[in-house]
Structure 1
Amino acid sequence: MSEPTNLLWGARFASGPSVELSNLSRAPSSFFRLFREDLAGSRAHARELERAAVLTADECARMLDALDRIEADVASGDEQPQPGDEDVHTFHERLLVQTLGTLGGKLRAGRSRNDQTANNTRLYLRSTARRLTLAVLTVQEALAAQAARHAETLMPGFTHLQPAQPVALGHHLMAHAQAMSRDVARFIDWDARFAQSPLGAAALAGSAFARTPELSAQDMGYGGPCENSIDAVASRDVVAEFLFITAMLGVNLSRLSEEICIWASRQFGWVKLHDSYSTGSSIMPQKKNPDIAELTRGMSGTMIGNLTGILATLKAMPLAYNRDLAEDKRALFQTVDLLDLILPAFAGVVRTLGFDTDRLAADAPRGFTLATEVADWLVRQGIPFAQAHEVSGASVRYCEERGMELQDLTAADLPQIDAALTPAVLAVISPDRALAERWGKGGTAPVRVREQIAAFTETCARQRRWAMAEPTGAALRRSPSRAEVLA
């Protein structure tokens, strides 16, 4: 048997845990990233114990000072977890007892690792949602900047990956930006829904000492405490919903990634990747590969898997806390770490894309993308759209049989197609005119694209203000490192 040196349990056991159990039970090193959140909860709990007269005012002050020093030491690397530290809570209690002696052991009264870990996760995610939002905004703003440069640039729009109608390149890029903006909106909605503190729930029934959780919630920047102590420690929809948002963000990034890969191909040639955001081949000297787009596309699958994994973990778990719930952090941290890599690189790719506007404009009418213009012109002549659709389709067939595009039609061709077609229709077979006609709100007309970008810029500014606001108040402040203190 090998017994850890700093267990928070074990008196009722005749022997210590086996090596195998210790190895399985010990938190992965990545979980110790929650040290600031854990210490924030400890500060709030110390104040609760003072209110409950478990700690005197002097003891509470000494406790808070020790917690500040521990945070500085851990942040600077002067203190690190040891193999006997089962988790971040054990690590901090060891340091607290080393610093304060028996007083350090008083902090455990009236709390449990169950409410601690739930609280740590919420604090971490509320802060992380804002940090990720700032990174998503760099992608959104890069898209908007490109869209502003290309509000009038023609390109073919697609449905079913087939040429459909001409659109403005700026309009197409803003479609991706709008989707990502909703991901940020989801973060904001999520944050409002889960701005409740689990601290004070203890193991599951509430605490005999921490009986003013409203105040500790206020300490940590929450709107209030959780309404139900069992739900506070047992639920992980806070994690599942966060992972849904990140998975949806991954999907939206992946869809744009797919288009970048296609557009950068020789067959399309619509966009050129900047050298600093592309790679080459170890065997083929001519290659210029869209690795960032491909890696993003691949990593989005991992993020989807993490969402699926946590839902599968939760689906048959009885109330209240079960050790299975520790898996939430494994999924969370992997997803967050992936996005920390993806988003800056992806913003750089988008910001430096160079579009071949001549080629895009030349491709805009190809594939009979102006067929709808013919049908719409016929409708304006009083012909029902069902009949106009047939006449326009006949025009397409006529051109296909002769290897020509609609814009190649002449007045001499029209009577051979249908008597309803007069030379006046030739004026509407124009990609620029097709764009200008779609001037309703949300349409691809350049004037509407510019309005959309202006409104989007205001939305980004609001989202940035939310992300820059500190959600966790003074309790999760950045304590100075020891070097900063000595300086």
Structure 2
Amino acid sequence: MALWSGRFEEGVSEFTQRFGASLPVDKQLYAQDIAGSRAHAAMLAHQGVISQEDADKIDAGLERIKGEIEAGSFPFDINNEDIHMSIESVLTSEIGDAGARLHTGRSRNDQVCTDTRLFAKKRARDLMAANVELRHALVSQAEKHFDVILPGYTHMQHAQPVLFSHHMLAYVWMLDRDFDRLRAAYDAADANPLGSAALAGTTYPLDRFMTAEALGFSRVIPNSLDAVSDRDFLLDLLYACSVSCMHLSRLCEEIILWSTAEFGFVTLSDSFSTGSSIMPQKKNPDFAELIRGKSGRVIGDLVALLVTMKSLPLAYNKDLQEDKEGAIDAAKTLEDCYRCATGMIDTMEIHPDAMLEQAKKGYLAATDVADYLAKKGLPFRRAHEIVGHLVLLCDKRGCGLEDLSLEDFKAESDLFEEDITKCLDLASIVAARTTFGGTGNSAVKEQLDQAKEALAADEADAASLA
């Protein structure tokens, strides 16, 4: 019989037992559940609610159960619908009344919130560490290929030349913000609900601050209704995972494009590619595609919990049983994507010549030619129009701006002089963009130093939470 069966004359059917059970999902939280129970028992003894002898039996019994679960010998039974009842029923069968006293002063409502918050903290910490590793890989590629030039795009059309290192660092800064979101999710989960009981607190003299300290929570949730019904911390974690997956999807989309014959900018290692069952020549970027695809399921996990929460009255409702599966899935998916992307970036081969060759196409010097005229006093809009005429001339001739003669330039404006050729050199165009955050070599060097400094600080922060 279930631990709550006292007022029932009949049990649930086999189907509804399975339908209502969360054990297949929440048994993954066994370590957090045992940690919460051990802290609760120690606090009950300290407060004189149970004897120290009972607390010692509970602690030893829970330690044995943890060992059995980790050894794969624990008898999980679907009739014990969740991880809490599974552990408590076995504990009580082993140590008798002492085990039956463990649940004094608490409810499964505050118990599951405690487990879930401990889990969210751990997974946020794991993801922060994985985020740091991917940023290291991107920074490494930026350093190794610092001066490589490739075309920058807007609307997927050639726009202006940029440094490859600048491009890689754009993703480093996205991931830097992702780290901050994961850190915020960690902080949101770092509050103790234990002792709130079902919704109203309890008449027992519990010390919630003692259990908070024992479990490593930085603070205690001040409202018992909020404590058992709040899942904002899981939404924060799911949001952080969703945004980071979106960033990884953008990165992988570019890698997929860059690895095509049309681009030829990169070659992925064999370890991060697959072949075709029919076409012997194929080398497919399957793992980049999978990362891109998995973003959908993580974003779906976020939407699912938002919809679950949107109409729930206070305090606890069975709907909240649906909170954990999506969060568990999202955290694991993002961690796997981080690991895969790190290996893929670390091992991909860069082709500078192919990047430079493409940067010579599409009139990427056009803006600098317009700036040349504007710096000589011509209104920029007029300069823009003149350079547009020159590009049209190149289109008709099938040539580049660098192929035009000085006479061609002067036919459009007498302001053009022989030094216009300096505006047509890609390396000079890139180097000239020295504004803070720009793609100029000196600006990117400064940016790279900042990125490495931020990375070191985040790496230390993640390590401090371990």
Secondary structure, counterpart of 1:107 in structure 2: coil
Q: Deviations over 1:450-479 (max 9, x none)?
A: 2222221222222222222346xxxxxxxx
Residue aligning to 1:326: 321
SS of match in other structure, 2:96: helix
- Asked if structure 2 preserves the Cα contact closer than 8 Å seen for 1:205 and 1:229, the reply is yes
Alignment of 1:201-220 (within 5 A): 201-209=196-204, 211-220=206-215
SS at match of 1:289: coil
Q: CA deviation at 1:352?
A: 0.9
Q: How many residues are treated as equivalent by the alignment? A: 466
* C-alpha displacement of 1:150: 1.7
Q: Quote the Cα distance in structure 2 between the aligned partners of 1:47 and 1:209.
A: 14
When the two structures are superposed, what TM-score results if normalisation uses the length of structure 2?
Answer: 0.97
Distance in 2 separating the partners of 1:63 and 1:255:
50
Runs of 5+ in structure 2 lacking a partner?
Answer: none
CA separation in 2, counterparts of 1:188 and 1:98?
Answer: 41
8 Å contact from structure 2 (residues 23, 81) kept in 1: no
RMSD of aligned residue pairs (Cα, Å): 1.4
Deviation at 1:194, TM superposition (A): 3.1
Report deviation, 1:369. 1.1
Q: Of 109, 116, 131, which residue of structure 1 is paired with 2:111?
A: 116
Q: Using a 3 Å threshold, how does the CA distance of structure 1 residues 210 and 217 change in structure 2: closer, same or farther?
A: farther
> What is the alpha-carbon distance in structure 2 between the residues aligned to residue 134 and residue 11 of structure 1?
47
In 1, Cα distance between the equivalents of 2:177 and 2:310?
Answer: 27
In structure 2, what is the equivalent of residue 469 of structure 1? 464
Range with greater deviation from structure 2 (192-201 or 146-155): 192-201
Whole-angstrom CA distance in 1 between matches of 2:44 and 2:185: 31
Q: Which residue number in structure 1 is paired with residue 27 of structure 2?
A: 32
Q: Is this contact kept in 2: 1:167–1:444, CA < 8 A?
A: yes
Q: Trace 1:255-294 onto structure 2 (pairs within 5 A).
A: 255-294=250-289
Residue number among 391, 395, 416 corresponding to 2:390 in the alignment:
395
CA, structure 1 residues 292+311, in 2 after alignment: closer, same or farther (shift >3 Å)? same
CA gap of 1:28–1:402, structure 2 versus 1, over 3 A, is: farther
1:60 maps to: 55
What amino acid is aligned across from residue 22 of structure 1 in structure 2? Answer: Q
Q: Does structure 1 residue 49 correspond to structure 2 residue 44? A: yes
Comparing 103-112 and 329-338, the one that deviates more: 329-338
Q: Which residue of 1 aligns with 2:449?
A: 454
Please, which runs of 5 or more residues in structure 1 have no aligned partner?
A: 472-487
Distance in 1, Cα, partners of 2:205 & 2:43: 5
Larger RCO (alpha carbons 8 Å, 6+ apart): 1
Q: Distance in 2 between matches of 1:417 and 1:167?
A: 28
Q: Provide, for residues 141-171 of structure 1, a one-character-per-residue CA deviation record: whole Å limited to 9, x for no partner.
A: 1111001112210000011111110000010
* Selected match of 1:338 from 325, 333, 338: 333
Output one character per residue of 1:262-312: Cα deviation in whole Å (capped at 9) or x when no partner: 111111111111111100000000100000110011110111111111101
- Between 1:378-387 and 1:247-256, the stretch displaced more is 378-387
1:316 aligns with 2:311: yes
Equivalent of 2:174 in 179, 189, 212: 179
Q: Secondary structure in 1 aligned to 2:260?
A: coil
Compared CA separation, residues 30 and 194, structure 1 to 2 (3 A): closer
- Partner Cα distance (1:77, 1:124) in 2: 20
**Sequence identity percentage:** 36
Please list every run of at least 4 consecutive aligned residues from structure 1 whose deviation after the TM superposition is greater than 6 angstroms.
Answer: none
Q: Are 1:362 and 2:334 matched, yes or no?
A: no
For residues 219-258 of structure 1, the C-alpha deviation after alignment (integer angstroms, 9 at most, x for no partner) is 1111111011111111111111110100001100000110
Q: How does 1:385-424 map to 2 (within 5 A)?
A: 385-424=380-419
Looking at structure 1, the residues matched to 330 and 159 of structure 2 have their Cα atoms a distance apart, in angstroms, of 36
- Partners of 2:199 and 2:316 within 8 A in 1: yes
For residue 35 of structure 1, what is the amino acid of its counterpart?
A: Y
Cα distance in structure 2, aligned partners of 1:303 and 1:288: 27
